[in-house]
Amino acid sequence: MGPRLADIARHAGVSEATVSRVLNDKPGVGSDTRKAVLTALDVLGYERPARLRQRSAGLVGMVIPELENPVFPMFAQAAEGALAQRGYTPVLCTQTPGGITEDEYVELLLERNVSGILFVSGRHADTSASYERYDTLVSRRLPIVLVNGFTEAIPAAFISCDDREAGRLAVNHLVALGHTRIGFTSGPDRYVPVRRKLDGYHAALEAHGLSGRDLVELSLFGVEGGHAAATRLIERGVTAMVCGSDMMALGAIRAARQRGLRVPEEFSVVGYDDSQLIAFTDPPLTTRR
């Protein structure tokens, strides 16, 4: 079924005649009006006529760890929108346990002559991994961007937040609430962002005359990891937790409630990411964006 001119015209705020001119690629329509009509076409779920489809400026690979944590689809969506505005076609490469590895994805992308590759929380953020794979790409003059886990060892563009500051902010918030036994959990310590959050956590505790030496439980990223870590930390008497992801924070809240603790009245939790699902938690989760 073809697009209904009346629906598109109503959505774009123009006449049906104008819509017809745009769809038939006729002259005499301003660029803003043409864009409004094409956007209406996209929003209403109609396929653009072949003559109006933009030729791709090239393919750009996006390698991300997973889709279960909502923050990674958020990264992908933001990057995809920015690429689309510039005419590039994104190729999403999602890793799963036992599936295609980052290096295998890179080989596939290179075979397709991609114009660049975006790595989100890739092997560059893993201190146990070799950085030679990125040096090879840089030496080929392939533009790459690495998100999370900045290191000076790779001569490429990085986008990373200040993980130390994130750890410090979380502790300061919990201390301001009156907590002195503050636990920490995140993923494995071979990851750069984990180490830096942990550094910020310890530095902030020391600044307040507190110690968290026996209050760190590193686990697997995800709800189950947060649940397991919180269960162990609650047994050690913590009344609050700094978590390395929102998913881990949700697991920590579940563990606290299973122990009969009211959140946040008796047990406080701070997440990390500010992922979209946080708006729907009860109570709303304090998190770091």
Written as one letter, the residue type at 44 is L
Report helix, strand or coil for 16.
helix
For residues 185 and 233, the answer to whether their CB atoms sit within 8 Å is yes
Q: Which CATH number fits domain 5-52: 1.10.260.40, 1.10.530.10, 2.60.40.10, 3.30.450.20?
A: 1.10.260.40
Q: For 86-222, where are the alpha helices, taking DSSP H only?
A: 102-111, 132-139, 163-176, 192-207
What topology is assigned to 58-159 in CATH?
A: Rossmann fold (3.40.50)
Q: What is the DSSP string of 45-57?
A: TPPPPGGGPPPPS
Is CATH 3.30.565.10 what the domain over 163-280 is classified as, yes or no? no
- Report residue 198: phi and psi, to 5°: -65, -40
pLDDT in tens, the chain (289 residues): 556 888 888 888 999 889 888 888 888 888 888 888 888 887 888 877 777 666 667 899 999 998 888 889 999 999 998 888 888 889 999 988 788 999 999 999 999 999 999 999 999 999 999 999 999 999 999 999 999 999 999 999 999 999 999 999 999 999 999 999 999 999 999 999 999 999 999 999 999 999 998 999 999 999 999 999 999 999 999 999 999 999 999 999 999 999 999 999 999 999 999 988 787 888 889 999 9
5-52 shares its CATH topology with 58-159 = no
Q: In whole angstroms, how far apart are CA 219 and each of 30, 101, 193, 231, 251?
A: 56, 22, 14, 12, 11
Domain boundary assignment for the chain: 5-52, 58-159, 163-280
Count of all residues that appear for the chain in the document: 289
What's the pTM value of the predicted model, to 2 decimals?
A: 0.80
Q: For the chain, where are the alpha helices, taking DSSP H only?
A: 5-12, 16-23, 31-43, 71-85, 102-111, 132-139, 163-176, 192-207, 223-235, 246-258
